[in-house]
Amino acid sequence: MDKTVMVTGGTGYLGGWVVKLLLEEGYRVRMTVRDRTQEEKFAPLLSASAAA
């Protein structure tokens, strides 16, 4: 699958689950975050992306 999806609020509770599910389905995901310096909020999503 070669589709990209944009998720706003990717570090929020619902956004995180949406990103995780999309990655599991093979989508390429772009997401917005409020503060890029708080990597601990989105680091699990980055590792899920690497595993997908």
Model confidence pLDDT, tens digit, residues 1-52: 589 999 998 888 898 889 889 988 999 999 887 777 777 777 777 776 666 5
Check residue 49 and give its pLDDT: 67
pTM of the model: 0.70
Q: How does 36-50 read in b/e, with b if 16+ C-beta sit within 10 Å?
A: eeeeebbeebeeebe
Q: Which of 52, 37, 43 is nearest to 5 (CA)?
A: 52
Alpha helix stretches (DSSP H) within 1-52: 13-24, 43-51
Number of domains in the chain: 1
Domain that includes residue 38, residue range: 4-51
If you search the block for the tokens 């995180």, which residue do you land on? 16
Check residue 4 and give its pLDDT: 95
The widest CA-to-CA distance across the chain, in whole angstroms, is: 31
